[in-house]
Structure 1
Amino acid sequence: MDDLVGDDGLTNAERNQCREAFERFDKDNSGAITLGQDPTDEEIFDMIAAVDEDGSNEIDFKEFCQVIKLQKEKAGQDGESDTLDAFIALGGNPDKTGQISTDKLRHVVKEFGLTIDINRLIAETDTDRSGFIDYNEFAVMMK
């Protein structure tokens, strides 16, 4: 049941972790976290301000979960950005078209001395045995 994602974009396990973290910050047990007038970390302030829906300068549990959801989405986007950058570096196109030669992948892995089983990854990913990896196949390989 921990894998079910709710309306807030979080699994039950993630929501429980949020509840525990929220309770640590909610020092007076009011059900809200007071931000104060002059936060020292501008990035945290901006992130929290983005979810302070009622402008109260306090974060309730629902808003706190939104912060966690935004961080989760940002982490996912960073991962996709890294995957796309690697795809382009190996010969793919920025619009996720094109293909990477499996021979080139083997060469890069050998050249950099990486200790991954590239032949196994290629066998699992290049299911049509074309000798080329498209973006979707590459993204699966990178997970």
Structure 2
Amino acid sequence: MSCLRLSSRKNTTDDAQIIMLRRAFSMFDSNKQGRIEKEKVKTILNTMIHDYDDLELDHLLDSEDAEALGTLNFDSFVRVATHFLDEDDEALQKELKEAFRLYDKEGNGYIPTSSLREILAALDEQLTPDQVDEMIAEIDTDSSGTVDYDEFMAMMTGD
């Protein structure tokens, strides 16, 4: 799901970004412990960012994991993720539209939830089928078995 283009400049985080980050964090906090592994942070950022510096990310992850637990809480995750967030909404909209087109391979105006299921399962192999079903139900708000552009945008932007 490499679709959100984010840069390496710092900015202020708005409510929509926090919601998006909360959803991403929750999806990967499989055990609902309030912490996610640093490797999962990398997975999340890989889905959201095209270009970022691995060494810079590793440094940020290590600085936020002061206790060397190998995990981050939500606040630490937000600080790491927002380091890379891009304020350019127009570029973001363009990237999301292009990503939707990539997943809407047949040009029908929707993505089948079966494809979304594969994407989510690939992002986190520890997700159970029930957890994936819950996420799909949250995303497919009209229970159509598909994710249309508006649902996709809501999922990706937290709106």
TM-score of the pair, normalised by structure 1: 0.39
The structure with the larger Rg is 1
TM-score of the pair, normalised by structure 2: 0.36
Larger relative contact order (CA 8 Å, sep ≥ 6): 2
